[in-house]
Amino acid sequence: MSKIYYTKPSIGEREIEYVLDAVRNGWGEQCYDYINRFEREFAAYLGLPYALATSSCTGALHLGLRALNIGPGDEVILADTNWIASAAPVFYVGATPVLVDVLEDSWCLDPAAVERAITPRSKAIIAVHLYGNLAALDELQVLADRHGLALIEDAAEALGSVWRGHKAGSCSTFSVFSFHGTKVMTTGEGGMLATRDEALLKRVQQLNNHGRAAGDLRQFWPCELGHKYKMSNLQAALGCAQLERIDELVAHKREVFAVYREQLLTAIPGASMNPQAADCLNSYWMPTLVLPLALAERRDLVLQQMIQSGIDARIFFQPLSDTPVFADLPPVSTPRAHDLALRSFNLPSYHELTITEQQRVIDAILQGLRV
């Protein structure tokens, strides 16, 4: 019986063709051709004028925070339900991450909790679109505008999701994306920063070029300490091919989710899965099952059953406030984040997952629950 992985990329002949072309011809004057193309086409997909390819989503967020001049003494608000990659860049720039609770249905930032956390030191809100779910962008933008804050979308997990007619990542000061091998589309490793703000883009470009100013004839003269979070031309070639298939890749994710939703929510009364708000579209990057309170204590037994059945099991994100990284910061009260972490888990959802394989996953879950 073959193992069922929780995710893996979909790579076809077009991807191989583009990468081979980059390997054979993408040198010298052509060394940036696929990078420039990927940035241009990704920005167009989002409906934005600017995008900058990076080596990771984490690097893109670090560059963006620096471009906003966020640093020591400043605070950045984000959800306690998160992966560390969304918080680490806040530490990198010397600012203080302020963790708040999430909404019960979307598992994303609770705007009311954000408002309570705003202080004179607040400079930005990082809205992470978790597992493809969309944060409450309208309410968060109102708060950002009222208090003069930057609203940043971490859309690493939500490529292909749509917020009321706008692509996830197109509704903020800037957004960041991940192309890790687990994501909807991949460049192996890699990320992207996207924005409407030309001045912010130019600042990010300079920071990402070791701090060298554009047009400076002193070729090796850094005017400030910068970084090198650059994507390679080979990765960008893969990204160009994947982006041409993005609608297909999102459609497959949604098909996988639909099968899970129909069977699991019928078989497990009181359970819930990734929501899709009115007038929105969820790309369902990672289908997630939230068990009802009455079955919460069986969550780990389900995960054990999945492993015994040759199925990858992945737990829900643990609250960041519980990790050693945040041990020196003031304690926070995030009951929803802690509750969700105890009774939720992610389901396998790669693009080529078959109905037969999905049925194995569903059977293992129900066996673990003894439903």
Phi, psi dihedral angles at 90 (to 5 degrees): -65, -45
The 280-281 sheet, strands edge to edge: 166-167, 162-163, 280-281
**Residue 215, pLDDT score:** 85
User: Does the predicted model carry a pTM greater than 0.95?
Assistant: yes
**Residues in CB range of 121: below 8 A, 6 or more apart:** 73, 74, 75, 96
**Residue 123, pLDDT score:** 98
| Residue type for position 370 | R
Mean pLDDT in order along the chain per 10 residues (371 residues)? 94 98 97 98 98 98 98 98 98 98 97 98 98 98 98 98 98 98 97 98 98 89 95 98 98 98 98 95 98 97 96 96 97 98 97 96 96 60
DSSP symbol at 213: P
**Residue 371, pLDDT score:** 60
Domain boundaries, the chain: 13-244, 246-369
**Residue 81, pLDDT score:** 98
Tell me which CATH code domain 246-369 carries.
Answer: 3.90.1150.10
Rg (CA), the chain: 21
d(C-alpha 169, C-alpha 178), whole Å = 12
Q: Measured between alpha carbons, how far apart are the two ends of the chain, in Å? A: 24
Positive or negative, the CA dihedral 174, 279, 314, 246 is negative
Tell me which CATH code domain 13-244 carries.
Answer: 3.40.640.10
How open is the CA angle 48-137-9, to the nearest 5 degrees? 60
